[in-house]
Chain A
Amino acid sequence: MRITENIVSYNYLENVNQTREKIVDLQAQMASGKRVRKPSDDPRASDAIIRLTQALASNEQYSRNVEDGRGMADVTSTTLDGAAELFLTFKEVVVKASNGSADESFNIYAQQVDQLLSQMLSIANTRFNGKHIFGGTQTLEVPFTLSLDRQTVTKNPNGVGGTISYPVSDVLSQKVNISGEEAFQGTAIFDLMIQVRNTLLGKTPPTKTEVDAVNAGFDHLLQTTSTAGSYVQGLDALTEHLDQQKTKLMEFLSAEQDSDLAESVMKLKQQETMLEAAINTGARILPKTLLDFLR
């Protein structure tokens, strides 16, 4: 091929330009730490990056949901634990009163039971994060109210039932509350306490039916407590699962997205050397023509 000066300088410029372009790209990769900065850099990887980023955002959201749900379930479980303990004290009083005693003692027992009733009500109206935890979905209203004559406990007329569940994955939700209906069987627990107190005030021991009901009520409270505990355990397991998933997702994302600094530095060095060589050669050959030797 016949080579003219223009071909030499054109090709020279072209090569230097290409090398510079690669250097600029490598520098951008190193500065941003990212191998893929726009979809066309690598459409397949970019698709994966977008999907993984979304999965990561969802994962973080689910972790937040689980954390919040765990808080709610944990408070519910602890509070119910307190309720069961309180009911145990009530049960002990009932047992003592059933075993017969002096007239004055009935009064004392009745006062104790009345005290326990107040405490139980305050437990049933516990608030957490501004929500009444036993209000069902009526979280803003007081679930249970004791009448002034302390003879009846009434539910919130809008109800104390209803399930609250939080989304914990793309398809699953986890129940995080125990409603007032579930925990206190409507107002049955309170009604029982009032009934026993009134019996004791009448200076008679609790009846067989009452004792049986107290035993059943205690069993019920224990059972609900353990249900709430199982929610906490389930949410703990989910936290662990989500954490593992997050680690994996971040690994994948990093593999698709992050530039390998060592590799970039090596490539950059290589390109720098090539650029130097090209410029050096250019400086030697570009100005040379026969003219230089015709003196």
Chain B
Amino acid sequence: MSGINGILEIGKRSLTGQRVGIDVTSHNIANASTPGYSRQRLTLQTTEPIKETYGLLGTGVTMVSIDRLREGFIDQQVRNANTYLGEASQQARILGQIEAATNEPSESGLGAMMTRLFNAFQDLSLHPEESASRNNVVQSASMMSDTFHRLTAGLVQLKGDLALDTEARVDQINRIVKEIYDVDQRILGLKASGVAANDALDIRDRKLDELSTLADVKVSVDDLGSVLISLGGMQLESRTGYIGLTTKTVGTTLTVVTEGTSIPVTVQSGELGGILETLNVTIPGYESKLDTLASALITRINQVHAAGFGVGNPVPTGINFFTGSGAKDIAVNNVIVANIGAVASSSDGAPGNNDVAVALARVQNELLLNGNSSTIGQFYNGFISDLGATVQTVANDAESQQLVLKQLENQRSSISGVSIDEEMVELIKFQRGFDAAAKVINTVNEMYLTIIEMV
């Protein structure tokens, strides 16, 4: 197809090529800020040359494909970072709330309240005859009990919130998995017709990113280009279908199971993993520590108190100071609230005797906990500093994962992101190419005219 017509054909192909180039460039510019978008490139190639006696004669340009620029390896790393970040940030959020609820160090935390009670016992030992000292003891003990209640109620409330959080996350996972399945079907359809579904792939990659924040999913791609998603060894999605998840309470543990068949699914990381870990392990641990503390206080104070005498006629004795058995129900005995004379201070009934008041105050220094190695104060301080150290660790984890993620996002953006500068250069390049191709056609036109005029 050489000759003038051939040149015209080359010009036409060139015009189309440059126009599609501008098309792709403008698509890139339009999506420069679209989340998850990968820049696309038009791949041009020379058309089959014609063999002439003097050599191969070029026949112009053709468009091979429009490709997206994407690095699967970085995607995988981003998703891993998302998973860790999800776990650490949720734990930092939840434990931070618990830490704030303890209100330590301060004048109104449980530590200060316990110190206050023991000091009230000492004040009682100074003036065992005065009802003001007894009042002070009962007041301080009630305030301490209230603080115990406030802490445990806070934890119970938090567990309720976390159960709701868990359900919301599970619903989100179900929604995303379904969306990925739908996108997958579109990708497979397009692929069957021989076209790379660039934009659909971008959408799928973004959904997978979202999913990886929620849970530690494993993602692989099968030979047809559909993804396989599994969580804790359970296949959630493939090109043939998907399954949903739901929550189920087993004993006191909230677990994730498959919908309908109720097969347990282990979630170890991601936001969901982080929430489940705090809900099922960390918070019950804290609750049991508070219970241990309250129970030690109740048992020991009651033991000392019941052996003592209060004031009144008859002289009250053998009365327990606290009722209840743990942090939830510790309370000053109603008998004492009704008659503060029942607060014991004396070991023999003499009103000036302060032996029992002193013994009650000394409970503060007794090694009652951790296998008789810690005082009540030391045990509580240990609890608070453990909590503080854990919060600091998870917060640091979250921060460092955030940095890792930032680096990876930059790397990904460096490959897939749209650069306006670059697109401008492309635009100018294709525009000039378009101009030049038009010029070629113009030239051919003039050549025709020349030939016609010759006739």
A interface residues (Cβ-Cβ under 8 A, vs B): 1-7, 10-11, 14, 36, 38-41, 43-44, 46-47, 49-51, 53-54, 57-58, 61, 64-65, 68-69, 129-131, 135-140, 158-159, 162, 164-167, 170-171, 173, 257, 289-291, 294
Complex-state Cα separation, A4 to B99, whole angstroms: 41
Interface centre among B105, B130, B346, B361 (most CB of A within 10 A): B105
B111 touches A (CB below 8 Å): yes
CA distance A172 to B389 in the complex (A): 35
Contacts A58-B115, A138-B350, A139-B129: A43 and B385 contacting too (C-beta < 8 A)?
A: yes
Nearest-CB residue, chain B, relative to A177:
B352
B100's nearest neighbour on chain A, judged by CB, is: A38
User: Using Cβ atoms and an 8 Å threshold, which residues of chain B touch A50?
Assistant: 104-105, 111, 381, 384-385
Q: Decide yes or no: A65 and B122 within 8 Å by CB, A6-B418, A139-B129, A164-B352 being known contacts.
A: yes
Collect the chain A residues with CB atoms within 8 Å of residue B392's CB.
Answer: 40-41, 43
Interchain residue pairs with CB less than 8 A apart (21) = A2-B415, A6-B33, A7-B413, A10-B406, A10-B413, A14-B406, A38-B99, A38-B388, A39-B385, A43-B389, A47-B388, A53-B112, A58-B119, A64-B123, A65-B125, A137-B351, A137-B353, A159-B350, A164-B352, A166-B354, A257-B105
Partner of B413 from A6, A51, A135, A290 at Cβ < 8 Å: A6
A7-B414, A137-B352 are known contacts. Are A47 and B346 too (CB-CB below 8 A)? no
Partner of B391, one of A39, A51, A137, A140: A39
List the A residue with the shortest CB-CB distance to B387: A39
Residues of A within 8 A of B99 (CB): 38-40
B122 with A61: CB separation less than 8 A: yes
- A6, A131, A290, A294 interface centre (most CB from chain B within 10 Å): A6
Quick check: B419 and A5 within 8 Å, CB to CB? yes
- In contact, A57 and B126 (Cβ under 8 angstroms): no
Contacts of A51 in B (CB 8 A): 381
Give Cα distance in the complex from A117 to B406, angstroms: 94
> In this assembly, does B165 line the interface, its C-beta being within 8 Å of a C-beta of chain A?
no
Q: State how many angstroms separate the Cβ of A113 from the closest Cβ of chain B.
A: 31
Residues of B within 8 A of A2 (CB): 414-415, 419
Most buried by A among B32, B126, B377, B391: B126
Chain A residue at smallest Cβ distance from B403: A14
**Which B residues have a C-beta under 8 Å from some C-beta of A?**
32-33, 96, 99-100, 102, 104-105, 111-112, 115-116, 119, 122-123, 125-127, 129-130, 346, 348, 350-354, 358, 361-362, 364-365, 377, 381, 384-385, 387-389, 391-392, 395, 406, 409-411, 413-415, 417-421, 424-425, 428
| B362→A290 contact, CB < 8 A | no
User: Which 10 pairs across A and B sit closest by C-beta, in order of nearness?
Assistant: A39-B388, A139-B352, A137-B350, A40-B391, A4-B417, A137-B353, A137-B352, A47-B385, A43-B388, A43-B389
Given the interface pairs A40-B388, A173-B358, the reply to whether A57 lies near B112 with Cβ below 8 Å is: yes
Q: Return chain A residues, CB-CB under 8 Å to B350.
A: 136-139, 158-159, 162
Task: Point out the residues of chain A lying under 8 angstroms from B122, CB to CB.
Answer: 61, 64-65, 167
Take A5-B419, A6-B33, A43-B385 as given contacts and tell me if A140 and B352 are in contact as well, using a CB distance cutoff of 8 Å. Answer: yes
Q: Return chain B residues, CB-CB under 8 Å to A11.
A: 406, 410
Q: CB-CB < 8 A to B377: which residues of A? A: 54
With most chain B CB atoms within 10 A of its CB, the pick from A44, A50, A158, A162 is A50
Q: Is the CB of A64 within 8 A of B358?
A: no
Task: Note all chain A residues with C-beta closer than 8 A to B116.
Answer: 57
Contact B130 A4 (CB under 8 A): no
- A2-B418 Cα distance, complex, nearest whole Å: 10
Please state if B33 and A167 are interface contacts (CB–CB under 8 Å). Answer: no
A129–B354 touching, CB < 8 Å:
no
A50-B381, A290-B420 known; A167-B358 Cβ under 8 A: yes
Q: A65-B122, A137-B353, A158-B350 are in contact. Are A36 and B129 (CB under 8 A)?
A: no
Given the interface pairs A39-B104, A167-B122, the reply to whether A5 lies near B346 with Cβ below 8 Å is no
Q: How far is the CA of A54 from the CA of B116 in the complex (A)?
A: 10
Which B residues lie within 8 Å of A129 (CB)?
127
Inter-chain contact B33/A138, CB cutoff 8 Å:
no
CB pair A5 B352 closer than 8 Å: no
Alpha-carbon distance A162/B418, docked complex (angstroms)? 91
Known: A166-B126, A290-B420. A131 touches B105 (CB 8 A): no
* A40 lies within 8 A of B413 (CB): no
A131 touches B417 (CB 8 A): no
* C-alpha gap A135/B320 in the complex (Å): 29
